[in-house]
Structure formats: C-alpha cells, structure tokens
Amino acid sequence: MDFKTKTGTSSKNDIQVYGFNLTEDLVGNITLADMAFLGAKHRKPTENESKMLNALLVAICEHGFTPSSISTRLTYLGAPEAVQASIASGLLGAGTVYLGAMENVAELLQTTYQKHGDNKDTCEMAATVLKEQNEAGLQIPGFGHPVHKPKDPRTTKLFEIAGDLGFYGKHSKLLTEIHRQFCVLKGKTITLNAVGAIGAIMADMDMDYRIVKSFAVASRAVGLVAHVVEEIETGRKEGAGQQIFDYVESHTNYEVIDR
C-alpha cells in the first residue's frame, strides 16, 4: 500500500515537516505554538497570528487544581515511572466543563454565521442563538465561572489583544452581543469566560471548530508538566496526590453487603 502524508518525512540527511526543512527553516525560528498553527493551516503564521495564538495558549496553560491537574498528580502517585501516563490522564478530562467548551463556542458561532450571516445582523443573530438554545433546552457554552465573577480577567485581556492584532472580528462581536443580551435576559451579569473568548477568537482566526480543542489540549499538556514537577520536588509522601488519596481513604465508609 502507498501511504502518503504531508506532515513529516525523513531521509538520511534531511527532515521535512509540513513542506519545510526542519533544521534549516523551523528549529530556532518559530515557536511551538507556531508549529501547531503550521500543522493546522499548512503555512507559517503571520507575526500577528503568532502573537495571538501564543497569547491564547498561555492563557489556558495553567489554572491551579482542576480535575485534569488532580488526575495527573494521582496518576503520578501510582505510576511515577511513567510520567507520560500522568500527563495523558490529565488530558482525558478536557471536556465541556473544562477546556472543551471552546470547541462548542466556535461551532455555535461559525454555524450561526453560515445559517444567518447573509440575512441577519449581529443583534438578530444573537437573539436567534438565545432563542434556539433555550427552545432546545441547551446551555450557552462559554458562560459562567465558579471563581471569576462578574468578569474573567483573561477574557478582558484576550479580547484586548485580539483588538490590537486584528482578530476581534465578526465571531467575537457576535459572542459579545450574545453575552449582552444573555445578561439582560437573566437580569444580572453572567461571566463570559476565557474559554468562550478563545473559541470566538479562534473562529476569527479562521480555525475550523473541530480542531479548536486540540490547541487547548496541547496547552494544557505543557501546564501539567509543572504539576508533575511539584510532586517530584515535594516528594511522593508529602505531595498533593498522596494527600488527596489519604483524605479519600480516611473519609470512605466501606459497607459489607451480605449476599
């Protein structure tokens, strides 16, 4: 069988990645985020695209104790010889509550423009989104946060950068209008979180919604390294993973069932 790929090939003295010579064109010349962009768009990012994507990935790289970082620490506790398993376990929790919602936001915004962009303005589209989501019994992705209320500081910063770099476009404006109308309907300020902002900005960067979450996963993988390092530095017996395990163990009531 003849398998073909444009991602990477190697010969005795040459490595080609995405059509570029790895050692001459890429190593030392572009960032890891730029490589992700190159793989997704089949071209190097512009200076502004590079700045924007790097900002987005830094914004969600680390956020303290979350299900993903706790999973990483617990897995390291049980398998310190397999650090890759620790990172992988942390990435498995990238769902709609943590990280994954940016994909849903991008899909919602891109789909809305495809369906209504030619015959409705931004205000009308926002009202349509709220109406359709409500009728379907669906939540609006990208809203709410357990800590950051009423504003997520990352959202403010990312939209500011997007405006400066030319990526606060139609999708970001639509999400902002959805947010405004949503707050009016609720009668209070609902947080537009960073995940929502990132989904909108990546849509404005012309990223297919189906790959948006993959960037978040790559960013979180980098952040999880620090959690493994902290477990190593603290020592397994004193690490957070051991403390969590001990707490669960001491607060678990075992019931013997007579069958």
CATH of the domain at 118: 1.10.230.10
Residue 243 lies in a domain: no
Average pLDDT value for residue range 74-79 = 95
* pLDDT for 259 beyond 70: no
Q: Could you report the per-residue pLDDT of 93-137, keeping only the tens digit for each?
A: 887 777 778 999 999 999 999 999 899 999 999 999 999 999 999
Q: Could you report the per-residue pLDDT of 239-249, keeping only the tens digit for each?
A: 989 998 888 88
- The number of folded domains in the chain is 1
The pLDDT of residue 237 is 85
How much of the chain, in percent, has pLDDT values that exceed 70? 98
Residue 241 lies in a domain: no
How much of the chain is helix, strand and coil, in % rounded to 5? 60, 5, 35
Tell which residue, 140, 150, 57, has the closest CA to residue 104: 140
User: How many CB atoms sit inside 10 A of residue 23's CB?
Assistant: 12
Residue 120 lies in a domain: yes
Residue 223 lies in a domain: no
Residue 32 lies in a domain: no
DSSP symbols for 103-158: HHHHHHHHHHHHHHTTT--HHHHHHHHHHHHHHTT---TTB--SSS-S--HHHHHH
Residue 256 lies in a domain: no
As a whole number, the mean pLDDT across the chain is 92
Q: Could you report the per-residue pLDDT of 156-175, keeping only the tens digit for each?
A: 999 999 999 999 999 999 99
pTM: 0.91
Joined together, the tokens standing for residue 56 give: 């987005």
Cα(252)–Cα(232) distance, rounded to whole angstroms? 27
The pLDDT of residue 22 is 94
Q: Could you report the per-residue pLDDT of 20-58, keeping only the tens digit for each?
A: 999 999 999 999 999 999 999 999 999 999 999 999 999
Residue 258 lies in a domain: no
> Domain range for residue 153?
100-211
Cα(133)–Cα(131) distance, rounded to whole angstroms? 6
Residue 91 lies in a domain: no
The pLDDT of residue 144 is 87
Q: Give the DSSP H or E segment for 224.
A: helix 209-234
Q: Name, in order, each residue with C-beta under 8 angstroms of 98's C-beta and a sequence gap of 6 or more.
A: 66, 67, 68
Give the side-chain half-sphere CA count within 13 A for 223. 22
